[in-house]
Amino acid sequence: MVSVRRQRWLVVPAILLFYFLALNSLVGDSPTMDEQNHIARGLAYLRTGDPRLSVEHPPLVNTLSALPLLTMPEISLPTADPSWEREPPDVFWYVFAEKLLWEANRDLDIQRILFLARLPLLYLTLGLALVGWHFAREMWGHPAALLVFLLLLFDPNVLANGRYVTTDLGGTLFAFLATYLLWRLWQAKGWNWRRWLWAAICIGLAFSSKLSTLVFAPIWAILALLPLYGPSERSWHSSGRRLLQLLLAGLAAFWLVWLVFAFEWGHFLFLDARLAGLARAQGPMPTFWSGVERILLLSGGGRSGFLLGQFSDHGFPFYFPIALLVKTPLLTLVLLLVAAITLLALPKARARAVFLLLPPLAYFAASLLSALNLGYRHLLPMLPFIYLLIGGLASRPVRAWAWRYFVGHGEDGSEVSLAPVIPVALLVLNLLLIDAWMHPHYLSYFNLAAGGPSNGHRILIDSNIDWGQDLLRLQRWMAEEEIDRLKLAWFGTADPAYFGLNYDPLPGFPRPEFISQWTEPPFNTAAPEPGVYAISASSLWELPLADKNVYPWFRQREPDYRVGYSIMIYEIR
């Protein structure tokens, strides 16, 4: 077995490889759909101390992302624009972000702004892997710790979302860290105030990172009640103590969240008519509670989702099950099933297996109730628990069981087998091969059972494959193919004109010059005129329109080229 000292020699090259893959890919990605909103939230909060833009997303992760932007004092905040005064009230933060990036600072290097804002996310991704290391070491031992570290670092979905200025990876990290610290707290006998304080702090950090982490509150409550923490901790008295610890930690976390919101106080900003009475009152964190309301409204429907050629404003029951099956590496799915069966069957590992299985299962069940079907990224909080469970195959109880089963002696557990470690090590190798295959297009990863990334746009779109990340690559493709001008159906908030593209706009989303084309498409939809057509995968499916009568001619044909996996090129002569 690899010693702890030798593990360090493996960890350093792994971290260097991670940074190479992440940095080498992120510099080629254009601004994705939501990044300008997160940059605006974080920078405005740092420069003004006002969290008013942090609706739907608490400011912690956005603030961390914006810290490197303080090295660019020349960035101008458009606080004189009506959007800073919450006009229009339903989408003011989108308007402010558009003004910030593409109008007020158009003469600056947008890619430099983007690069600096993306850098902190790489460190959060490394932090996620390090939390996995410590959690696995305490739960399963040193061999599992190294493997879980590598699995979390090189999973293509973690690598994809760990390079963008969003809250998905940050929320995943802090929810996982809070769960780890609660587990450590509940492992201790009695009331360990030091461990309780750290757990409370990290619960607050989780709630300050992403609103969806609030789903973990009832999950932690269930974990507190279950007798999973040793013979002396299996009474109702112990369960009550753990639940009280969690409740008090939640109350303490509230103060930390309020601190992150700069102790904001004011009139509540609820939009629902049923909350009109509360909207006239004042209280703490009105922006936070407004975000909770908006997320609940969105989760009930109203934003178009796509699955297997179909659209719905009310969500698909099988959206997230299919997303999990087609975008999770196949060997990960296989070993998840093997690990769950094996660990649940072993008495010495059963309690820990239940502890690790319940959060992803409960989180997954909650996702099935949501109509907000926007991408696999919403399942990211499941992955650390999945890989930690898989890492349990390298634990001593499993290796001792394998020795007894295959060799037939060593019942006292003094002998262990290396055989269970091999599948987990193969999974690490499998993820590295996937990363090499997909580089630099990690966001567009689909496993081979789904037909790979080339077939992905027929199953899922939006942030699963096409988030506006390939605009710079389209620019390079035009230069290489010596194409002076093309017809562009763009899906993204980035401004193609800023990057010097010569194009005629086709129906797309959400920029005005593309949206305005939907009513009267500037080409014959039944027999398109000659030319080079560049159509984003999401625009190809005419997101977010209900009627799909603009691009059916193109959907029936294979593209002549692909830029990344998100932009389809059709040459019509």
Query: Residue 98, Cβ neighbours under 10 Å: how many?
Result: 23
Identify the sign of the CA torsion 61, 67, 73, 74.
negative
Task: Please tell me the predicted confidence (pLDDT) of residue 300.
Answer: 63
Q: Confidence class of residue 314 from pLDDT cuts 50, 70 and 90?
A: confident
Q: How far is CA 6 from the centre of its chain?
A: 32
| Rounded distance between C-alpha atoms, residue 328 and residue 383, angstroms | 9
As a whole number of angstroms, the distance between CA 309 and CA 549 comes to: 13
Residue 10 has pLDDT above 90, yes or no: no
* pLDDT at 409 (0 to 100): 56
Confidence of residue 527 (pLDDT cuts 50, 70, 90): very high
Beta strands in 417-527 (DSSP E): 486-489, 491-492, 503-505, 509-510
Is residue 272 predicted with pLDDT exceeding 80?
no
Residue 151 has a pLDDT of 98
Mention every residue, 6+ apart, whose C-beta is less than 8 A from residue 195.
181, 184, 185, 188
- 524 C-beta neighbours (distance < 10 Å), count: 9
State pLDDT tens for residues 444-499. Answer: 999 999 999 999 999 999 999 999 999 999 999 999 999 999 999 999 999 999 99
Average pLDDT score, the chain: 92
> Could you give the CA distance from residue 326 to residue 452 in angstroms, rounded to a whole number?
9
Average pLDDT value for residue range 163-185: 98
Q: Is there a contact between 550 and 487 (Cβ–Cβ < 8 Å)?
A: no
- DSSP state string for 367-421: HHT------GGGGGGGHHHHHHHHHGGGSHHHHHHHHHHHH---TTS----STTH
Looking at the predicted structure, is the pLDDT value of residue 236 above 80? no
- Assign 190 to helix, strand or coil: coil
What's the angle, vertex CA 363, arms to CA 362 and CA 364, rounded to 5? 90
> Helix, strand, or coil here: 284?
strand
Reply yes or no on whether the pLDDT at 301 is more than 70.
no
Choose among 571, 532, 526: nearest CA to 552.
526
Per-residue pLDDT, averaged over 273-299, amounts to 83
* Prior bond of 88 cis (ω within 30°): yes
CA distances from 67 to 42, 71, 165, 193, 252 (A): 8, 8, 12, 32, 26
d(CA 106, CA 490): 20
Q: By three-state DSSP, how is residue 318 classified?
A: coil
Is the model's pLDDT at 180 over the cut of 60?
yes
For residue range 359-410, what is the model confidence (pLDDT) as tens digits?
Answer: 999 999 999 988 888 899 999 999 999 999 999 999 888 888 877 766 655 4
Q: Which of 288-297, 429-438, 440-449, 461-470 has the lowest mean pLDDT?
A: 288-297
Q: Which amino acid appears at position 542 of this protein?
A: E
- Model confidence, pTM: 0.95
